Amino acid sequence: MSRSAVGIILRAEWRAWRNRIAKANPLRVVGLVVFALLGGTVFGGFLFALAAAAGHLLPSARDAMLSGAFTALSVLMLVVGFPSVIATYFAGRDLMQLVLAPVRSIEIFLARSLFAMSANLLVAVVFLIFVAGVGAGSGASPLYYLLALALVFVQVLLVTALQATFMAAVLRWVPARIARDVAVAVASIAGGGLYLAWNLTLRQTLGSFAPRHQPDLSSLVSSLQRIEWVPSSWPGHALSAVIEGNAAATLVWTGITLVFAIVVVGAAALLYERTLLAGLGLLGGVPSRWRTRRRKPPRVAAAGAGSPGFAIARKDWIAYRRDIRRLSRFLPAMIFLLAYAVLLIRPGRGIDLFWNDVFVVAFVSLFMSMMFATTAIPAERRGYQLLRLAPVTSWQLIRAKVLFTLVPVLALTGVISLGLSLAGGNSPWKTLQVALLAVWLGVGCVSIGVSAGAIDPNFESADDRRSVGIVGTFAAMGGELAFGLFSVGALALFYLAASLAAGNAVAGLPVAATPAFALASVVIAVALAAAGASVVVLMLWLANSHLRGFENSIVSN
């Protein structure tokens, strides 16, 4: 008896996945598992408790909460699940093999469904915890949990099928790979935005929390009740009916949810078959006019000798702008950065506005250099071979990368520091100090970041997030943190010295306001600044020596 194609494909995918795990760094795997378990327990426990409390305390809002949860789940899956759906159904390199084999497209569709749903399933697990919590708080029967599990899975299937249907239409005009990159960008930005909104809401809620007062959710409930006709809310109504013991309503809502899911999945399978037959799914073989542009007359470069440093910087600038995947990581990171810097770091009680600005500038410099600088050299990928072949020293390469990264880091820290200083009413002298500190920290952190990437690069990685190894990541974090602390410490000691020299003792410090102590503060401050600078020099030296002898990725190519 012949084996089913679905089983064969799934077995091959499972073997590939198992081999990837087996060949991965065991420490990394264990670390990830521990992190997932711990994070899952803490976050899941918190969410479950919150939902249980809501289910228990707000019986009138249960239906609205459940239907709202399913609608939110659907929206979130629609936003974040597209890249997996595109990659699995339409842009996988192995699709060609499957299409050429005597396998029906419906079998390909079914076999790949599990992988297409992977991102959506991850999101769904979070919502399942919430739904289970509401059930626990409402004292629901075991049927509730079984139905919840089934309905969440159906919702995942339905949304995935909806995404596949949508993409089957879109891919007639847009290449699959471009669609995937755009989807990744949209998902990252939306994910970043949602996370931020969640953080800010939580902050606001906890900030205004008054014990023994039930929160007023009437407006939220009424807006959720307005969307109860939306199909995404039907499973919520079914579960709410189970809690209320209304069997007829449970059957109706579950029934229409299932019928709707069958229709959507059927339509997706049909459209998928047509897409594959048209050959559009295979590596995005769509009209070439997508890429062709109006020809511009070639530009003759100005006279003068070519400069390798500027050539590398110019190449990076052009490639960065055109690489949608890198931009998709850049934009959400910028959202986080600005939001954390401007909204979440607020002066504490008794802290001078100037020192608040100093901490913001330090945070921005560290964040930006971790994001841009550490990946600067590993992001060359196999292009590093071209640099090794060219008469360019590793020091020239490091210098070019530092210069290229420094420009955006200094521009952003400059804008933020000036903005904060002006908004906070700092004097021009203090504004100048913050600006100088931004330059000092920018140069140092970027140099450390670029060096750390050069110490432990992974040129084979197609993903920037994995292009620096563990040693490099820790070197960047440790080095930048040390440099930042030394630098801010030095600044604080200069201030202390000025205060002591003026004869003003600092409250809480057992130091007399004498010229001798002022001098000692200056000496220690200079020593700290020198220590910070030596961290930078050491990292640059290590990077240069390491790059000169580096050949790992070249051998494996």
Partner 1 sequence: MSQTPHAVEARHLVKGYGVVRAVQDVSFQVPRGEIFGFLGANGAGKTTTLRMLCGLIRPTAGTALIDGFDVFAQPMEAKARLGYLDEEPFIHPHLTGREFLDYIADLYRMPRGPERHRRMERLLGLFELADRDGELVGAYSHGMKQKIGLASLLIREPSVLLLDEPTNGLDPRSARLVKDLLEELATRGTTVLLSTHILEVAQALCRRIAIMDRGHLVATGTMEELRTQAGSAQATLEDLFLSLTAGPESSELIERLLAPQP
Which residues of this protein are in contact with partner 1, per CB under 8 A?
Answer: 291-293, 295-296, 298, 300-308, 310-312, 314-315, 318-319, 322-323, 381-383, 385-393, 549, 551, 554-555, 557
Taking the least distance from each CB to partner 1, the nearer of 181 and 357 is 181
CB 115 within 8 A of CB 14: no
| d(C-alpha 240, C-alpha 234), whole Å | 10
Taking the least distance from each CB to partner 1, the nearer of 44 and 309 is 309
- Helices 62-80/234-244 angle, 10° precision: 150
Taking the least distance from each CB to partner 1, the nearer of 273 and 316 is 316
Taking the least distance from each CB to partner 1, the nearer of 516 and 555 is 555
| d(C-alpha 244, C-alpha 151), whole Å | 17
Shortest Å, Cβ 26 to partner 1 = 21
Taking the CA atoms of the chain, what radius of gyration do you get in angstroms?
29
CA 2 to each of CA 5, 6, 108, 288, 402: distance values in angstroms, whole numbers, following the listed order:
9, 12, 17, 41, 60
**What type of residue is 552?**
N
Q: What is the dihedral of CA 382, 388, 391, 395, to 10 degrees?
A: 110
Shortest Å, Cβ 319 to partner 1 = 4
The 3-state DSSP class for residue 333 equals: helix
Query: Which long-range CB contacts under 8 A does 465-473 form with residues at least 24 apart?
Result: 465/329, 467/375, 467/378, 467/379, 467/381, 468/374, 468/375, 468/378, 470/28, 472/374, 472/378, 473/374
Taking the least distance from each CB to partner 1, the nearer of 310 and 541 is 310
Shortest Å, Cβ 140 to partner 1 = 53
CA 192 to each of CA 189, 224, 320, 408, 544: distance values in angstroms, whole numbers, following the listed order:
5, 24, 20, 21, 36
Taking the least distance from each CB to partner 1, the nearer of 303 and 502 is 303
Taking the least distance from each CB to partner 1, the nearer of 21 and 303 is 303
Shortest Å, Cβ 429 to partner 1 = 43
Shortest Å, Cβ 309 to partner 1 = 9
CA 91 to each of CA 80, 83, 99: distance values in angstroms, whole numbers, following the listed order:
17, 10, 13
CB 437 within 8 A of CB 359: no
Shortest Å, Cβ 284 to partner 1 = 10
Q: Chain-centre distance of CA 368, in angstroms?
A: 14
Shortest Å, Cβ 229 to partner 1 = 46
Taking the least distance from each CB to partner 1, the nearer of 42 and 319 is 319
Taking the least distance from each CB to partner 1, the nearer of 433 and 467 is 467
Query: Which long-range CB contacts under 8 A does 141-146 form with residues at least 24 apart?
Result: 141/242, 143/242, 144/239, 144/242, 144/243
Taking the least distance from each CB to partner 1, the nearer of 3 and 295 is 295
The 3-state DSSP class for residue 29 equals: helix
Shortest Å, Cβ 464 to partner 1 = 13
CA 428 to each of CA 422, 432, 493, 496: distance values in angstroms, whole numbers, following the listed order:
9, 6, 21, 20
Taking the least distance from each CB to partner 1, the nearer of 226 and 382 is 382
Shortest Å, Cβ 553 to partner 1 = 10
What single DSSP character describes residue 266? H
- Closest listed residue to residue 500, CA positions, set 523, 520, 486, 530: 520
Shortest Å, Cβ 302 to partner 1 = 6
- Closest listed residue to residue 477, CA positions, set 333, 367, 330, 337: 367
| d(C-alpha 532, C-alpha 437), whole Å | 13
Shortest Å, Cβ 552 to partner 1 = 10
Taking the least distance from each CB to partner 1, the nearer of 28 and 314 is 314
Residues β-bridged to residue 468? 457
Taking the least distance from each CB to partner 1, the nearer of 166 and 320 is 320
Contacts of 515 (CB under 8 A, 6+ apart): 500, 501
Shortest Å, Cβ 182 to partner 1 = 15
Shortest Å, Cβ 381 to partner 1 = 8
